[in-house]
Amino acid sequence: MDIIKLNAIPSTNDYLKVLLSERHVENFTIVSAEYQTAGKGQMGSVWSVEAGKNLTFSVLVRDLLLGIDEIFHLNAAVAVSIAEALDAFGIKDVCIKWPNDILAGHYKIGGVLIENSIKNNGEIYSVIGIGLNVNQINFGGLPKASSLAVVAGKEFDKESLMIIIAEKLKRNVSRILNKETVSLWDNYHKKLFKKGQPMPFEKGGQRFMGIIRGVAHNGNLHVVLEDDSVAEFGLKEVVMLY
């Protein structure tokens, strides 16, 4: 796979998208940066990390044609790939918090932003941005944030971890292409944070209790309510309180 290493840029996702507009880029090309000055999270939130301490990179996936009822397959593949890589590095209690935050125990150590586009020639591509807290120790003002170094008590080789994540992503994307998604979703749900456990939620300022039953292939969260009915929530429609 091609790896483009950069120092400080606004956003690896934006850099890769510009590159795609200028020339042909091989599938699974990686753009990594030591520091992002304008890193992005879900729904326009900011992903801010300490320079040189963490993994910030983007991966290109080309022509993964998904219907509206299976659009979340790629998100699941990315989250599972990160979790599998962290398991291989001995990180304990790795979880996926819906839709695709990466946790170690109750602490957020990473996140994913996927941007899908169609070029003028009809070609479809996805730019997958991954941010992972690796060797940063201090997270002032962010009580729910942590890193691999904090939870494991040692530093990690960032590039080795990035390459393993990319290799596992290639394998899981291949599963999608070959319509072998049952095991992918099984692995996603095995790692799903708080699945099957009563917990509080909030929607529109109103709090309620529910039990996460799972995530649909379109990405919506299914929650069993106190009256045993099942509610379905879209991205950012409901907040999990933990």
Q: 56 falls in which pLDDT band (50, 70, 90)?
A: very high
Tokens of 137: 């120790």
Angle at 39 between CA 106 and CA 96, to 5 degrees: 25
Q: How far apart are CA 67 and CA 183, in angstroms?
A: 19
- The domain over range 198-240 is classified in CATH as 3.90.660: no
In the chain, the amino acid numbered 181 is T
At residue 156, φ and ψ (nearest 5 deg) are -125, 155
Mean pLDDT, residues 126-155: 94
Indicate if the alpha-carbon torsion angle 164, 36, 125, 95 is positive or negative.
positive
| pLDDT for residue 151 | 96
| pLDDT for residue 42 | 46
pTM of the prediction? 0.93
Mean pLDDT, residues 215-223: 96
The answer on pLDDT for 43 being more than 50 is no
Q: How far apart are CA 29 and CA 58, in angstroms?
A: 8
Q: Do domains 3-191 and 198-240 have the same CATH topology?
A: no
Q: Where are the domains of the chain?
A: 3-191, 198-240
The answer on pLDDT for 117 being more than 70 is yes
Q: How far apart are CA 75 and CA 200, in angstroms?
A: 24
Average per-residue pLDDT in the chain?
Answer: 92
3-191: CATH topology: BirA Bifunctional Protein; domain 2 (3.30.930)
